[in-house]
Amino acid sequence: MVADTDLVLGYDFGTSSVKAAIFAPDGTVHAVTACSYPVYYPQSGWVEQNPEDWWHAMCVATRQLLEQCPWSAGRIAAIGMAAQMCGVVPVDRHGQSLSNCLTWMDTRSADIARELMGGAISIHGYNAVKLAYWIWLTGGAPNLSGKDPISKYLWLKQQRPDIWGRVHKLLDVKDYLLHRCTGRFAATYDNAHLTWLFDARSGRKYWSDALLGRAGLDGALLPEVVRATDIAGALTTAAAADLGLRAGIPVAGGLGDLSAAAVGAGNPADGSLHLYIGTSAWFGAMLGKSRVDPLTATGSICFADGRDYLLIATQECAGASIRWGMETLGFGPDAFPAFEEMAAGAVRTRDMAMFFPWFAGERVPIDDERIRGGFGNLSLATDRAQVAFALYEGVALNARWAMRPFDRLSGRGGQTIRIVGGGARSRFWTQIFADVLGRPVQRVDAPELCGARGSAMAAAVAAGWYADLQSAAVMTHEGETMHPDPAASAFHSERFDNFATFYGRVRPWYWRYGAMGSPAQAD
């Protein structure tokens, strides 16, 4: 490291905004900002974003950082990016997008996913032979909701031949931005794995001709695969002009948001646990071997460095549920302290209302795009404070529901969990998670920056500051550990027993209702 390049720049492209920050080698944050972009819902089940909106937000955010720290522009040693995963951006040979991105929330290809993976001798909607084959090669299988890239590729091929005939590459969100910065078409191991066209076995880890053949897809449409810490390329003159940076800055391969959270949590060693609470939520654990439970949609993906695996149990709506509650109960978008104060003052009784955060279906421990959220046991005596408390508790109860298969696969039951993401800023909510999960929960400093920090850590390795991501963990600083309160844990455990049985009772109704197409209107 030379004296005049002693900073790294990290980006985290989420569902609704990009967070960006400038970091020093010890993890000190010199500047931080965020810039939002829209999400489009053109039809029921269609959820899109315009890639130009990401680039515009990246340019605005970068210039805001440079305004905060004018002295930093010439001192950036490397750039790292993390982004939402399972999006599909078809591009031409120049990297120009041919349509809006089909985001991870998009379910238009659900019928295609079910046709691809279904058949006789069905196990939870999967043909047993197909399921076994996919698990053998990838450690998992495409979900049936249509949210994974493989069925979206096939939707474009079948429904948009005008676009398909011009496609040069099929990119994820980060892949698109990486090309925009460097001119190189490349994906990292984590993004490649979640296409479910990637041989993820140890010692293999490359695009699978066998799976491509089964799907009827051409492997030439997929980008090359690089490690998160590889220098994927240098910032081009055109990109540098847009961003306000100097050309030639090394750009790391980067990470998907799942990997970035694991890195940003600062404990990337084998077996370490974290819980991310943002718009969505997930448990993550670094493991040396791939593990999967297809019956609970819990499994491993290749870690972005191409060596280890990341066990993931993901759920759809966490912070999104709190935002919905704030808007519905008349709180402004920045009124989190007031909303939290109201929830904390709720009178808690064993038979109070219970919330189920399945607004967009659910993944773990049930892979069901038709189920929808709601409240149970509402009465005329239920007040606003109890509704607010139920939202916080419901997300935590849902996490406990996912924790059962996750603990079984990870073998780390009872271990302290690091909590990251915007939700971890709340001491109140963190304590609820500790009480509901019945185990210690440790916050990290600036948990809302875990994705940007993770991408900056990958950039720091690419810049030569650290030998690997584990060494770069010094950029994360530990925070307070919350321990479960025995009385509160007993209260939530009794309520969890009712929570865990609710799905089985309402599923038949939602599957009949969903067949009429109505629930999707709420997406």
**270 has a pLDDT exceeding 80:** no
Nearest to 436 by CA among 490, 481, 386: 490
**Banded pLDDT at 514 (limits 50, 70, 90):** low
pLDDT tens-digit readout, 430-439: 999 999 999 9
Give mean pLDDT, residues 315-335. 95
Q: How far apart are CA 133 and CA 126, in angstroms?
A: 11
Averaged pLDDT, 25-33 = 97
Q: Quick one: pLDDT at residue 518?
A: 36
Instruction: Determine contact, residues 475/23, Cβ cutoff 8 Å.
Output: yes
User: What whole-number distance in Å separates Cα of residue 273 and Cα of residue 417?
Assistant: 5
3-state helix, strand, coil in the chain (%, to 5): 40, 20, 35
pLDDT over 60 at 3, yes or no? no
Site of tokens 């109704």: 509
| Model confidence band, residue 306 (pLDDT cutoffs 50, 70, 90) | confident
pLDDT at res. 321: 97
In the block, tokens 């309402």 appear at 506
| CA 265 – CA 139 distance, rounded (Å) | 24
pLDDT at site 19: 97
Q: Which residues contact 443 (CB under 8 A, 6 or more apart)?
A: 418, 419, 424, 427, 430, 479, 480, 481, 482
Rounded to 10 deg, the angle between the 128-138 and 110-117 helix axes is: 100
How do residues 222-237 score in pLDDT, each as one tens digit?
A: 999 999 999 999 999 9
Question: Domain 314-448+480-522 class?
Answer: alpha beta
Q: Could you please state the CATH topology (level 3) that the domain comprising 7-267+450-466 is classified under.
A: Nucleotidyltransferase; domain 5 (3.30.420)
d(C-alpha 202, C-alpha 30), whole Å: 39
Q: Start-end ranges of CATH 3.30.420.40 in the chain? A: 7-267+450-466, 314-448+480-522
Confidence of residue 1 (pLDDT cuts 50, 70, 90): very low
Percent of the chain with pLDDT over 70: 97
Look up tokens 């490690």; give the residue. Answer: 227
CA angle 364, 369, 372 (to 5 degrees): 90
Q: Are 113 and 143 in contact (CB under 8 A)?
A: yes
Band (125; pLDDT cuts 50, 70, 90): confident
At residue 523, the pLDDT reads 28
Mean pLDDT along residues 186-215 = 97
Q: Tell me: pLDDT of 212 over 70.
A: yes
| Confidence band of 5 (pLDDT split at 50, 70, 90) | confident
Q: Residue 65's pLDDT is what?
A: 98
pLDDT at 268: 66
